[in-house]
Amino acid sequence: MKNYRYVILGCSVAAVAAIEGIRSRDREGAVLVVGEEPCKAYGRPLISYYLLGETDLTRMDYRPDDFYRENGVTLRLGVRAEKIDPERKIVTLADGEQICYEKLLIATGSRPFDPPMQGIESVKERFHFMTKADALALEKALSPEKKVLIVGAGLIGLKCFEGIAARVKSVAIVDLAPRILPSILDDAGAKMVQSALEAHGAAFFLADSVLRFDGGTAYLKSGKEIAFDLLVTAVGVRPNTELIKEAGGEVNRGIAVDECGRTSLPNIFAAGDCAESFDIASGTHKVLALLPNAAFQGRTAGVNMAGGEAKLQNAVAFNSIGFFGTHVMTAGVYEGEMYCEAAERTYKALFTKDGLLKGFILINLPERAGIYLKLLKERIPLGRVDFEALKTAPAWSAFSPEAREANFAREV
């Protein structure tokens, strides 16, 4: 049986960040990465940009080709891990191979979740939009005479729309929620983005749902009917937690981890979309299925796996996402007092509570938005900055001279 000091299950962003975290402490220990997808880590959100023609399969690679070799990483791609024995510290792969670990990282991500939909099996061409393979399969089916139905007006469904809009005849998008991007936008923000998407041909059916499918027709709850050739379901995702659950580890919505990335099982860590984080904005443990958070968690876990000390203590939901040049940045929770500026093409909403910035929405206002995110993540008391000035424009002149000295006259 092969023996590795570090075994990582999953080969995406959390895995890469963990390798970097491990190697910041331990240049020698053998690392094995087991990935179910048959390829090295790629920027998963890039699949819509691939369909748009703004990147290609090579440029999508998340790290240079020699990254794994240079870091002494053995790759076992295209194979699934089936079972963990935490007592004996053994992972069993789908091909029967057993591997011994000293420290194990679960970075198995998430998978699409389709609620039961009547008649779904009568739909011939069905797709998800999570992986490179999904994007390539969808691309093969695209053609200018085809009508597409996307179920789900969240981040995945709408980025899919952006990717395919110019390559098909029409796209209809159905969502149960009364507004698009319901998890990250408020009503006013959602309306603005919806108009931008409609200008590119999106036909929305909101506060509606598919009651049943019959071949190329979707019958909606509202009584409307949509004829389509291709169906993309982007309703939701489920964290891949089974390995930990079956091994007896603690799992809620995602795998429960502490701020070092440790699961409840000894020597086993978890990071990325399969794991929970403590979200400082809501004060709750939840899955923050965001690429940067996977990187933060992966790095933290890697450092701790290699005997170092790292803690992730400022996790928060944030998104930066564009649709046909309309750019949306959001973070945190939308609670407390709201400051709002709305114009024809721009929208700003800042939410404050208990003297802290708790959340924000910025549409077409990307300039220096990181200063707002800093206030939120570092829970900087707004009494310590000139928040009146910051409301209008994020700037360091609103911070104290001492803060500027520490940040601009010193190494950071």
Partner 1 sequence: MKRIYVNEKWCLGCHLCEYECAYANSGIADMVRALKGKPIFPRVRVEDAGEVHFAVNCRHCSDPVCVQSCISGALTKGKDGVVRIDRQKCVGCLTCVLVCPYGAVLPSPEGHAAMKCQLCTDNMMGEPNCVKHCPNGAIVYEEREAAQ
> Is residue 408 a contact residue for partner 1 (CB under 8 A)?
yes
Sign of CA dihedral 250, 253, 259, 262: positive
Distance between CA 120 and CA 137 in Å, rounded? Answer: 18
Q: Which helix (H) or strand (E) holds 205?
A: strand 202-206
Structure tokens, 270: 């978890």
- Give the torsion through C-alpha atoms of 10, 67, 89, 3, to 10 deg: 140
Which of 325, 337, 344, 383 forms a contact with partner 1 (CB under 8 A)?
325
Instruction: Scan residues 10-39 and list those touching partner 1 (CB under 8 A).
Output: 17
Picking from 328, 289, 315, the residue whose alpha carbon sits closest to that of residue 377 is: 315
CA–CA separation, 412 and 405 (whole Å):
11
Q: Are the beta carbons of 26 and 308 closer than 8 angstroms?
A: no
Q: Does 331 bind partner 1 (CB under 8 A)?
A: yes
Q: Shortest approach of partner 1 to residue 396 CB, angstroms?
A: 6
Strand pairing category for 230-233 and 126-127: parallel
Q: How far apart are CA 61 and CA 43, in angstroms?
A: 6
At CB < 8 A and 24+ separation, what contacts does 368-372 make?
A: 368/393, 368/394, 368/395, 369/320, 369/329, 369/394, 370/394, 371/395, 371/396, 372/331
Here's the x/- map for partner 1, 280-319, by CB under 8 A: it reads as: -----------xx--xx--x------------------x-
The residue among 84 and 237 lying less far from partner 1, judged by its C-beta, is: 237
Residue 59 lies near partner 1 (rule: CB under 8 A): yes
Least Cβ distance, residue 265 to partner 1 (angstroms): 26
- For partner 1, the closer of residues 160 and 231 by Cβ is 160
Q: Site mask, partner 1, residues 156-195, x = CB under 8 A?
A: ----------------------------------------
Residue 271 near residue 107, CB atoms below 8 Å? yes
Binding range to partner 1, per CB under 8 A, among 73-81, 211-219, 342-350, 364-372: 364-372
Tell me which residue of 318, 131, 137, 126 sits closest to 240, measured CA to CA.
Answer: 131
Does the footprint of partner 1 cover residue 60 (CB under 8 A)?
yes
- Kindly state whether residue 46 participates in binding partner 1, applying the rule CB under 8 A: yes
Question: Between residue 96 and residue 155, which ones bind partner 1 under the rule CB under 8 A?
Answer: none
Sign of CA dihedral 265, 267, 271, 277: positive
Q: Which of 266, 355, 366, 381 binds partner 1 (CB under 8 A)?
A: 366
Minimum Å distance from CB 57 to partner 1? 12
Q: Which of 368, 381, 384, 400 binds partner 1 (CB under 8 A)?
A: 368
User: Is 199 among the residues that bind partner 1 (CB under 8 A)?
Assistant: no
DSSP assignment string, 110-157: EEEE----BTGGG-SSEE--SSHHHHHHHHHH--TT-EEEEE--SHHH
- Under the binding rule (CB under 8 A), the answer on residue 269 touching partner 1 is no
Minimum Å gap between C-beta 305 and partner 1 is 17
Output 68 or 228, the one with its CB closest to partner 1. 68
CB of 172 to partner 1, least distance (A): 26
State which residue, 174 or 275, has the beta carbon closest to partner 1: 275
The distance of closest approach from Cβ of residue 395 to partner 1 in the complex, given in angstroms and rounded to an integer, is 5
Among positions 104, 244, 281, 329, the unique one binding partner 1 when judged by CB under 8 A: 329
233 in Cβ contact with 156 (< 8 Å): no
Asked if residue 149 lies in contact with residue 160, where contact means CB atoms within 8 angstroms, the answer is no
Query: How big is the site for partner 1, counted in residues (CB under 8 A)?
Result: 50
The three-state (H, E, C) secondary structure of 216-272, written as one string: CEEEECCCCEEECCEEEECCEEEECCHHHHHCCCCECCCECCCCCCECCCCCEEECC
Residue 406 within binding range of partner 1, rule CB under 8 A = yes
Closest CB to partner 1 among residues 189, 249: 189
| Closest to partner 1 by CB, 90 or 403 | 403
Contact positions vs partner 1 (CB under 8 A): 17, 43-46, 49, 54-55, 59-63, 291-292, 295-296, 299, 318, 320-322, 325, 327, 329, 331, 366-371, 373-374, 389, 394-398, 401, 404-412
